[in-house]
Amino acid sequence: AVSPPLLIPVDIHFPLYKSNCNFKQLIESLKEGFATPSIQVPMRHHHDYPNPPEDKDSTLLLMPAFNPGVDAGVKIVTVSPNNGKYNLPAIQGTYIYLDAHKGNIKAILDAKSLTTKRTASTSALASSFLSREDSSSLLMIGTGALAKNLIHAHTSIRPITKVYVWGRTIEKAQAVCDSLTNESYSCTAITSIEDKISKVDIISCATLSPTPLVFGKWLKEGQHLDLVGAYKKDMREADDDAIIKSSVFLDTYQGGLKESGDIVIPLNNGTLKVEDIKADLFELCNGAKKGRTSEKEITYFKSVGHALEDLVAASYFYNEFISNK
């Protein structure tokens, strides 16, 4: 069982709340959210500001979303690059969940936990449209906070019996597997991506790698590729050959075309054209466009995150809290 974000209900004096995250329910909530035209998501605010004690800029990010008359929220994130020397994470944040009618704060959620849960669930939502329904094996590339959540999310919507985990060290990969010993699938740490990648149905990648870890020459017909990391324009997790061999999908055009090297670099070098991109999650969830169209098709999904996902997930966890208190 995976715990959801810490939740502080500010309209009641109550301790921090934890319970299990039902990924199937959260995925369904996200599907409904992407199909709901009333939800409004402005462009996020990005402010770099001086940090004189460190002689290096810090960053403040504000990511709002509104469902008029229902609810609203804003994720507030700070990035302080030198925090390692203070034994603090570089990225810290809070999500403020609001009543959109009366304007009162309903809850405050830990942004890191909220983001990992909604990101993993968004990947699984995309997989429900893009991976083969009989997908039974998953390769997880990366061992960070997202890895375990991505495995839980993907296995909740496909009949996966075998999971493989690769990390920069075999010890980190094994630690992920050790945390999943009581699941319905086997989990095996591996030392080589190349040896296993062509033998699995779904490949999920969540790393900070500046250069590709997934190469098109390794991909086989019918696979689904889920790319979650490489959040900067000069970073990428898959090479141009992977783009050429695949049908490409995004979480949103708004962020997907601008924020990650997995899309920006092939757009800039001519490997990919905007019109080649098949659909985003809005189009898939509202039925405007289709996902996978054949058993042999290789599907390529790039996620950069969206404030709609935060709002929907905050609503889900808040309602879970209210129904269980």
Cα 80 from chain centroid?
22
Rounded to whole angstroms, the Cα distance separating 157 from 146 reads: 17
Domain 7-112+308-324 has CATH 3.90.1640.10: no
Task: Confirm whether pTM is higher than 0.85.
Answer: yes
Sheet strands (E) in the chain: 7-9, 45-49, 58-67, 71-79, 91-99, 105-110, 137-141, 162-166, 186-190, 202-205, 224-227, 247-250, 279-280, 299-302
CB atoms within 10 A of CB 52: 6
Per-residue pLDDT of the chain (325 residues; tens, 9 = 90+): 455 665 555 543 333 344 468 999 999 999 999 999 999 999 888 888 889 999 888 889 899 999 999 999 999 998 887 888 898 887 889 999 999 999 999 999 988 889 999 999 999 999 999 999 999 999 999 998 899 999 999 999 999 999 999 999 999 999 999 999 989 999 999 999 999 999 999 999 999 888 999 999 999 999 999 999 887 888 899 999 999 999 999 999 988 898 889 999 999 999 999 999 999 999 999 999 999 999 999 999 999 989 999 999 999 999 988 887 7
Superfamily of domain 115-306: NAD(P)-binding Rossmann-like Domain (3.40.50.720)
SS3 at position 68: coil
- Over the stretch 44-55, which tens digit does the pLDDT of each residue have? 888 888 899 998
Same fold, 7-112+308-324 and 115-306: no
Phi and psi for 243 in degrees, rounded to 5?
-65, -45
Beta bridge partners of 88: none
In terms of Cα–Cα distance, which of 249, 160, 139 is closest to 202?
139
For the sheet with 224-227, list strands across it.
186-190, 162-166, 137-141, 202-205, 224-227, 299-302, 247-250, 279-280
- Over the stretch 205-256, which tens digit does the pLDDT of each residue have? 999 888 999 999 999 999 999 999 887 888 899 999 999 999 999 999 988 8
Tell me the domain boundaries of the chain: 7-112+308-324, 115-306
